[in-house]
Structure 1
Amino acid sequence: MKYHVRKKAILLLEDGTIFHGKLIGDQEGTSFGEVAFNTGMTGYQEIFTDPSYYGQLMVTTNAHIGNYGTFSEEIESESIKIAGLICKNFSYNYSRVKSDLSLEEFLKKFNLVAISDVDTRALVSYIRENGAMNAVISTRVDEINTLKKELSEIPDMAGLELASKVSTKEPYFVGDENATYKIAALDIGIKKNILRNLAKRDCYIKVFPYNTTYQEMSSWNPDGYFLSNGPGDPEPLTDAINLAKEIIENDHPLFGICLGHQIIALANGVSTFKMHHGHRGINHPVKNLITGKGEITSQNHGFAVSRESLESNGEVEITHTHLNDNTVAGLKMKNKNCFSVQYHPEASPGPHDASYLFDDFIENIKKSKA
Structure 2
Amino acid sequence: MSAFLLLEDGSRFEGPPTAGERCYATGEVVFNTAMSGYQEAVTDPSYRGQIIVFTYPHVGNYGVSIAAQESDRVHARAVVMREGVDREDAPTAEGGWLTWLGDCAVPALDGVDTRAIVRHIRDKGAMRGGVFLGDWDGEEARALVAAEPRIDGLDLACEVTPDAMIKINPGGTGPRIVALDTGIKDSIVAQLRDRDVRLELHPCTTSAEQLLAREPDAVFLANGPGDPAALDHVVESVRGVIGKVPVFGICLGHQLLCRAVGLETFKLPFGHRGSNHPVKQLATGRIDITSQNHGFAVVGPGGELTIEGDEPVRWETDFGAAELSHLNLYDRTVEGLVLPEVGAATVQYHPEAGPGPHDARYVFDDFLKMLG
TM over 0.5: yes
- Separation of aligned partners in 2, 1:56 and 1:350: 22
Partner of 1:95, secondary structure, is coil
Contact 1:52 1:300 in 2 (8 A): yes
Is 1:317 the counterpart of 2:310? The answer is: no
Summarize deviations over 1:64-91 as a string: whole Å, max 9, x none.
0111110111100000010100001111
Q: Match for residue 355 of structure 2?
A: 349
Are 2:125 and 2:269, in contact at CA under 8 Å, matched by a contact in 1?
yes
Residue 309 of structure 1 and its aligned partner are, at CA, apart by 4.0
Identity value in percent: 40
Corresponding residue for residue 268 of structure 1: 261
- Write the letter of the residue equivalent to 2:261: N
State TM-score, norm by structure 2: 0.93
Give the drift of 1:139: 1.8
Q: CA deviation at 1:27?
A: 5.9
CA–CA separation in structure 2 for the residues paired with 1:48 and 1:26 = 22
Contact 2:3-2:18 within 8 A present in 1 as well? no
Q: Residue by residue, what CA displacement relative to the aligned partner does 1:130-158 show, whole Å, maximum 9, x if unpaired?
A: 10000011124541111112211211111
* SS of residue matched to 1:106: helix
Aligned to 1:139: 133
SS at match of 1:118: coil
1:163 to 1:137, Cα distance in 2 relative to 1, 3 A: same
> Partners of 2:19 and 2:288 in 1: how far apart?
39
Contact 1:229 1:258 in 2 (8 A): yes
Q: By how many angstroms is 1:8 displaced?
A: 2.7
Instruction: Measure how far apart 1:92 and its partner are.
Output: 2.2
* CA pair 95-238 structure 1, distance change in 2 beyond 3 A: same
Verify the 8 A CA contact 2:156 2:226 in the aligned structure 1. yes
Candidates 339, 343, 352, aligned match of 2:345:
339
Contact 2:88–2:94, Cα closer than 8 Å, also in 1? no
Contact 1:282 1:349 in 2 (8 A): no
- Which stretches of structure 1, 4 residues or more, deviate above 3 A after TM superposition? 22-28, 308-312
- Does structure 1 residue 303 correspond to structure 2 residue 296? yes
Residues 188 and 228 of structure 1 are in contact (CA less than 8 Å); yes or no, is this contact kept in structure 2?
yes
Alpha-carbon RMSD: 1.5
SS at match of 1:298: strand
Question: For residues 21 and 171 of structure 2, what CA distance do their matches in structure 1 show?
Answer: 43
Q: Any unmatched runs of 5+ in structure 1?
A: 1-6
Which structure 2 residue ranges, 5 or more long, are not aligned? 305-312
Partner of 1:4: none
Note if contact 1:67-1:95 (Cα within 8 Å) is conserved in structure 2: no
Q: Do residues 288 (structure 1) and 281 (structure 2) align?
A: yes
CA contact (8 A) 1:40 1:61 kept: yes
Per the TM alignment, residue 97 of structure 1 is displaced from its structure 2 partner at its CA by 2.0
Q: How many residues align?
A: 359
Choose 302-311 or 228-237, whichever is displaced more.
302-311
Superimposed CA distance per residue, residues 109-147 of structure 1 (whole angstroms, 9 cap, x where no aligned partner): 211111100100111011101100000111245411111
- In structure 1, the residue matched to 2:55 is 61
- Trace 1:20-35 onto structure 2 (pairs within 5 A): 20-22=14-16, 26=20, 28-35=22-29
1:360 corresponds in structure 2 to 366
2:200 to 198, 202, 206: 206
Measured in 2, the distance between the counterparts of 1:22 and 1:84 equals 17
